[in-house]
Amino acid sequence: MAGKGGWRILTAAGLLAALLSGCGKGGDDDTVKPKLDSLWAERLKYCSECHDPDRDPDYDGPDMSTQASFLAGLKEQDHSDYGDWNIGSDCSGVPFIDPEKPGNSLIMAALVLSYSDQISADHGKCDTSYSYHNDVSESFDAEKDADLISALKTWIANGAKDN
């Protein structure tokens, strides 16, 4: 039986062991990883609030209702793959996700202002929908979402794999 104060040593030792084993870690472990699972869990799952054909029978764009349909509907696809989707702009030839090329991926331009400006400059007829996503508070803030933007950019640069 531990004497007076013995429980404090045991409690402190238990807390130290928990912290060293990973329980309660903060910092880098709380940031989004450049993997689809992490990006989906952190933010991309909310795309389904608008981009889901089951919610809107008139919706003709890519299905983003699940992680799998998000990737299948965007990777190496562009607006010409969704001919009936009326977005009021011609972005044909600009892939939603261009594997290994985040700077040529419309998803980056739809969510991040600096990418929107670049794609609009490179593809004059293409309105990237950044302004719409910004108006409905779905765009990424360059400062607040810096880790998320970096992870999305890295994931695309690494081939936009299903991971």
pLDDT reported for residue 30 = 65
pLDDT reported for residue 20 = 31
Name the pLDDT band for 67 (thresholds 50, 70, 90).
very high
Tell me whether residue 112 is exposed, middle or buried, using C-beta atoms within 10 angstroms of its C-beta: 0 to 12, 13 to 18, 19 or more: buried
Task: State both tokens at 88.
Answer: 């009021």
* Lowest mean pLDDT segment, chosen from 8-12, 81-85, 100-104: 8-12
Q: What is the pLDDT of residues 12-32, one digit of tens each?
A: 333 223 323 333 333 345 689
pTM: 0.78
pLDDT reported for residue 80 = 85
Helices (H), the chain: 6-20, 36-42, 67-74, 106-111, 113-122, 130-135, 146-157
- In three-state secondary structure terms, 97 is strand
Task: State both tokens at 58.
Answer: 């008139």
pLDDT reported for residue 4 = 54
Task: State both tokens at 15.
Answer: 């807390």
pLDDT reported for residue 118 = 93
